[in-house]
Structure 1
Amino acid sequence: MVKKELTEKSPLRSLEKAVNGGLGKGNIAVIASKQGIGKTACLVHIATDKLMRNKHVIHVSYANKVDHIVNWYEDIFTEISKKRSLEGAMDVHNDIIHNRVIMNFSQKGIPVSQVLASVKAMMDNGQVGTDAIIIDGFDFTIGTAEDIKKFKDFALEEQIELWFSDSYKGEENFQDERGIPKNLVKALDDISVVLTLRAEQNYMVLKLVKDHKSIVSEDLQLKLDPKTLLIAEV
């Protein structure tokens, strides 16, 4: 299968339809779940899909190390190329890694304004044409509503998409009575799309709980395969 056909048939097109054509430039999306469910893999699949459509992506990691992020990209690309019999997989791989940059920050001691200044410098000097920024490992319990507003203003100014992960510990319910993850309530006005990820018996299910201006409760026809952690249609 050629790259164009592969991306056209990607299950992520179903996600775009579910949220009125996609997240949209200038907007923030958050994928929330308890720890270890597959949020990073989900974000990497979204990023890889963009890369395969010749878009540029910056992946901002708040983890101590980024080796596992690189490994996720390699694993997700390998699974996609094998599952769909991608033609010229190695050439495609070599092309898309030039359009991806991984940056690493510590949330403690480095303000959001400094992170965004570094990202902006990367966009201007080395990653011109960035379409989306993946922000993985940001701790919403530390981050303030003002921090999210800075991210939102940056997304609007640069006309890019921002995709976050939001992680919860323990077994307690992490959502309020509307289904909104509790960490996100304080900044909900600046977050356009909220998805949650939960474990079922044989797979992980994506649920849409905020679609731009509407609070919803809709299990999407999408799941994460527990073996490959690829997003697939149910």
Structure 2
Amino acid sequence: MVKSELIKRSPLRVFEKSINGGLGKGNLGVLASRKGVGKTACLVHLATDQLFNDKHVIHVSFSSRVDHIVSWYEDIFKEIAKMRDLENAVSVHDEIVKNRVIMNFNQKGISIDQILRSISALITDGNFAADQVLFDGYDFEDATLEDLAKLKAFAQDHQLGIWFSASLKSEEPCFDDEGFPVELKAFAESLDVIITLAYAGDNVKLRAVKDQKNTELINMHLMLDPKTMLIARE
């Protein structure tokens, strides 16, 4: 399969349709779940789809190590290439990896202003025209509404989308009766899209609990495939 057909058949097209065309430029989206459910895999799959579409991605990791992030990208690409029998996979890989930058910060030791200055320098001085920024492992317990406002303004100024992965650490219930993450309620107005990942039997289901102004629980009919760790149709 050629790259254009792979893009067309990707379950990420269902993902986008479920949230009215995708995250969109200038918007903030969150993948939220308990630790270890698969947020980073989903985040990397979203990023890889952007790369396949010739977009530029900045992956900001708040982990102490970034080698496992690189491994995630390699594994996700290999699974997609194998599943779709991608033609010229090595060439495609070498082409898209040039459009990805991984940055690493300790969230407790740096302000959001410093992080955004570093990203801005990469975009402007480094001529890296990012289409999407990923904040992997962002701790909303250390965030403020002012931080979210700055991130929103940054996304709008640079016309890019920002995705977060957030581990929910609050005691049960982790979600309210409508499926909304309790930990994120204080930031609900600041976030444009919120998608939860939670076990339903042996599978991890994706549900949109906020899509722009819509706050009703939406079954996206997508799951995280436990074998490939890719977003897949149910």
Q: TM-score, normalised by structure 2?
A: 0.97
Pairwise CA distance, 1:26: 0.1
Structure-1 separation of matches of 2:171 and 2:227: 23
Structure-2 separation of matches of 1:184 and 1:171: 13
Runs of 4+ with deviation above 3 angstroms: none
Residue 154 (structure 2) pairs with residue 154 (structure 1): yes
Pairwise CA distance, 1:77: 0.2
Report the count of equivalent residues.
234
8 Å Cα contact 1:42-1:230 kept in structure 2: yes
8 Å Cα contact 1:56-1:129 kept in structure 2: yes
8 Å Cα contact 2:29-2:162 kept in structure 1: yes
Give unpaired runs (5+ residues) of structure 1: none
Pairwise CA distance, 1:27: 0.1
Q: After superposition, where does 1:51-200 map in structure 2 within 5 Å?
A: 51-169=51-169, 172-200=172-200
What secondary structure, in the 3-state scheme, does the structure 1 residue paired with 2:131 have? Answer: strand
Q: What is the alpha-carbon root mean square deviation over aligned residues? A: 1.2
Q: Percent sequence identity over matched residues?
A: 51
Pairwise CA distance, 1:7: 0.6
What secondary structure, in the 3-state scheme, does the structure 2 residue paired with 1:130 have? Answer: coil
Counterpart AA for 2:182:
K
Structure-1 separation of matches of 2:39 and 2:127: 25
Structure-2 separation of matches of 1:30 and 1:163: 6
Structure-2 separation of matches of 1:222 and 1:92: 26
- Between 1:177-186 and 1:8-17, the stretch displaced more is 177-186
Structure-2 separation of matches of 1:201 and 1:127: 46
Q: TM-score, normalised by structure 1?
A: 0.97
Change beyond 3 A, Cα 1:205–1:171? farther
Partner of 1:228: 228
Structure-2 separation of matches of 1:171 and 1:188: 19
Pairwise CA distance, 1:169: 3.4
Partner of 1:47: 47
Give unpaired runs (5+ residues) of structure 2: none
What secondary structure, in the 3-state scheme, does the structure 1 residue paired with 2:141 have? Answer: coil
